[in-house]
Amino acid sequence: MAVKTGKISVPKGLTAALLAATVEAEVLDNDGNQPEEVIKAGTDLRVRVRWTLSGVLATMIGGSFRAEARFDGVGAIPDFSTAAPDQPTQPLPAGGVHVVDVLVPAAAFAGDAYNVSAVLTYIDGLGVAGPIKGIVDLDQIALSP
């Protein structure tokens, strides 16, 4: 499964020179390798989420970012999601890359086929979801016995 680029929003009215962002994600096995679309049941997975912030305002953003992996079950398989601990924003230089792995234990999978997506949400200093939000639609995975 390859790295996929998603869409991310920034507050309306800001030009890219003031604030721009990118987000991408990929599904990896527990060893950090890219698995095939058919994965052996019992395999722990991780969804690696990378994002960048650039522009004059990028180094002034406080709060944190929450990366979440969503697994939408195909058919009657129940959906579930899991999140990494919130990542405090760091005063990286503009264009700095942030990376977090969302760990997904094998026990979380109740079925054998899922559509996978990664969601990134900015959380302000008061704990409220803010205006920066991104999503990456990843591949469908199937689990084999």
Instruction: Return the CATH number at 81.
Output: 2.70.50.60
Rounded-to-5 percentages of helix, strand, coil across the chain:
5, 55, 40
Total count of domains within the chain = 1
Note the pTM of the prediction, 2 decimals: 0.91
How far is it, in rounded angstroms, from Cα 39 to Cα 37?
A: 6
Q: What is the mean pLDDT of each run of 10 residues along the chain (145 residues)?
A: 92 92 93 85 95 87 94 95 91 74 95 96 92 95 92
Structural domain that includes position 91: 4-144
